[in-house]
Structure 1
Amino acid sequence: MSTAGQLAGRVALVTGAGRGIGRGIALRLARDGADIALVDLHPDGIAAVADEITEIGSKATTFVADVSDRDQVFAAVEHAATALGGLDIMVNNAGIALVGPIADVTAAQIEKLWAINVNGVLWGTQAAVAKFLELGNKEQGRISKVINASSIAGHDGFALLGPYSATKFAVRALTQAAAKEHAADGITVNAYCPGVVGTDMWVEIDKRFAELTGAAEGETYDKFVGGIALGRAETPDDVAGFVSYLAGPDADYMTGQAGLIDGGLVYR
């Protein structure tokens, strides 16, 4: 999907960039030629990814922020634009999971989940759009991109993942609405919907399923992977390839969409 250097001269900000899918996205966009602002709660992770990006030959800057805090997200965007000389691509990747029966969900759990998975996307979209407009990207002939993390759970509600699924459905709604509101501003807004990715998040999901269902550790993960048409678990690079497409010029005429990139697990 990607052509080397297709993002040369562009600046991208990636949240949750210290590990897993976020790290994979950041490295792929850097290989595409973009300079990258890495945002995460954990400084050590993004510092290591910044070193990898420098080795690729792109510029990198880091910023520690909690995406559930609107002021911190706006500060991260301001830092990125100042440190790297602009902003063209916002990847609202940061997120957490919650596994458990709907009947057992507490107010504290849902508030934290919603604050990160939904509010974090909302604040990131607000901050990025404001900066795109301030910089005059459209007037310079530059299409700006907001790219949000949804999930297969944003297309199907999964048992024991009800509130998590609800947050990912909400991301799709925000993506569609923002796409309609900001198309005239030269801004596209799309989402990516991964499936079963072999990351630390899925290790924790599998452990929690084991606690709740009595399954052996690894059994739930293997069950989900067994349903994938392409016959293997997803990697961060698989997701990053699709995000690269959304970030690049070939997707300039695509907006308001939430594409499934799951190897053939959920079909829409």
Structure 2
Amino acid sequence: MSRRLNDTVALVTGAGSGIGAATAHSLAMEGAAVAVLGRRRERLEDVADKVRADGGTALVVEADITDRRQAAAAVEQVVADLGRLDTLVNNAGFMGVGPAAESPLDEWEHMLEVNVQGLLYVTHAALPHLLRAAEDSPRRVADLVNISSTAGRVARPGTAVYNLTKFGLNGFTEALRQEVVRQRLRVSVVEPGTVDTELGTHLRDGVRQAIERQLEGMELLRPEDIADAVSYIVTRDRRVAVNEILVRAGEQTW
């Protein structure tokens, strides 16, 4: 079977579990050499081992993207070790929910650090390499995919700051898309609904139980469902740009 991403390099942030791990594996199975980036080396090694066991190429990059120097160094390590960068998937994220008046300020700050600043640091470091790949690679196209959320489209009580980060991400994605569209760097956003991941495991008591009650009986999306959307975007012919994919669970109304 032809692998559509042969001779390309992809970097996935937040790749130690969930959507990031599934996306890294999916891109590797399409032929990309994949760099898995995150803070938990053990988890990253597990993801890389699975990729390699299935015949793919994986590089582990341990870094905290909320540190601008670590984020930039991580991108440069990928290019130095794998030779180029054709695809960036900004997946790392943090979700804190609950009434604004009862939310710890530290939680708000952490959401901004990961969902906004970390993404910007990685993107800024990667852009020159992605633009170069779009110009000189055999495919003559490169991809930047941002993982947002339905919370980037629908504001709801208890998610004010998470909404802030995801609405902002959607706006950033569209503006950047328009800037680089003629250079054949495709900039896309994927907006997952409720996915069975670790994203909500850190939620405070009370908040977590309320969300569990809300989701009770619903069949949640799997990380592989979102990985499929990312793979679809980046494997299109260069004449096709898929700007946005919204993926909700089948029973999700918001």
TM-score normalized by structure 2?
Answer: 0.91
Bigger mean CA offset, 96-105 vs 33-42: 96-105
What is the aligned partner in structure 1 of residue 190 from structure 2? 192
Give unmatched runs, 5+ long, in structure 2.
none
Bigger mean CA offset, 100-109 vs 90-99: 100-109
> How many residues align structurally?
252
Give unmatched runs, 5+ long, in structure 1.
226-231
Bigger mean CA offset, 92-101 vs 137-146: 137-146
SS at match of 1:46: helix
What is the aligned partner in structure 2 of residue 261 from structure 1? 247
What is the aligned partner in structure 1 of residue 166 from structure 2? 168
SS at match of 1:137: helix
Structure 2 distance, partners of 1:90, 1:70, is: 17
Map Cα deviations across residues 156-197 of structure 1 (whole Å, 9 max, x no partner).
012211111111111101100110111122211111111111
Indicate conservation of the 8 Å contact 1:122/1:174, yes or no: no
What is the aligned partner in structure 2 of residue 137 from structure 1? 134
What is the aligned partner in structure 2 of residue 220 from structure 1? 214
1:56 shift after superposition = 1.7
Indicate conservation of the 8 Å contact 1:147/1:190, yes or no: yes
Structure 1 distance, partners of 2:106, 2:29, is: 40
Q: 1:156 to 1:78 in 2, by over 3 A?
A: same
What is the aligned partner in structure 2 of residue 211 from structure 1? 206
SS at match of 1:90: strand
1:106 shift after superposition = 4.1
SS at match of 1:121: helix
Letter in 2 for 1:160: G
Indicate conservation of the 8 Å contact 1:18/1:42, yes or no: yes
Indicate conservation of the 8 Å contact 1:202/1:221, yes or no: no
SS at match of 2:4: coil
What is the aligned partner in structure 2 of residue 229 from structure 1? none
SS at match of 2:120: helix
1:95 shift after superposition = 0.4
2:12 aligned residue (8, 11, 14): 14
Indicate conservation of the 8 Å contact 1:172/1:258, yes or no: no
SS at match of 2:200: helix
Indicate conservation of the 8 Å contact 2:6/2:30, yes or no: yes
Structure 2 distance, partners of 1:254, 1:211, is: 42
Letter in 1 for 2:3: G
Map Cα deviations across residues 87-127 of structure 1 (whole Å, 9 max, x no partner).
10000000011011122334432222111001122222211
Indicate conservation of the 8 Å contact 2:133/2:141, yes or no: no
Q: 1:214 to 1:245 in 2, by over 3 A?
A: closer
Letter in 1 for 2:134: N
Q: 1:266 to 1:68 in 2, by over 3 A?
A: farther
What percentage of aligned pairs have identical amino acids?
33
What is the aligned-residue RMSD (CA, Å)?
2.2
Structure 2 distance, partners of 1:184, 1:75, is: 28
Map Cα deviations across residues 126-180 of structure 1 (whole Å, 9 max, x no partner).
11112224x4531445211000010011110122111111111111011001101
Letter in 1 for 2:161: P
2:227 aligned residue (240, 256, 262): 240
What is the aligned partner in structure 2 of residue 92 from structure 1? 90
Letter in 2 for 1:197: V
What is the aligned partner in structure 1 of residue 42 from structure 2? 44
Structure 1 distance, partners of 2:253, 2:168, is: 18
Q: 1:234 to 1:4 in 2, by over 3 A?
A: farther
Q: 1:130 to 1:266 in 2, by over 3 A?
A: farther
TM-score normalized by structure 1?
Answer: 0.86
Map Cα deviations across residues 2-61 of structure 1 (whole Å, 9 max, x no partner).
x85111111100000011111010111111111100100110000111111111212111
Map Cα deviations across residues 198-224 of structure 1 (whole Å, 9 max, x no partner).
11223445xx4x614975x8323216x
Q: 1:69 to 1:36 in 2, by over 3 A?
A: same
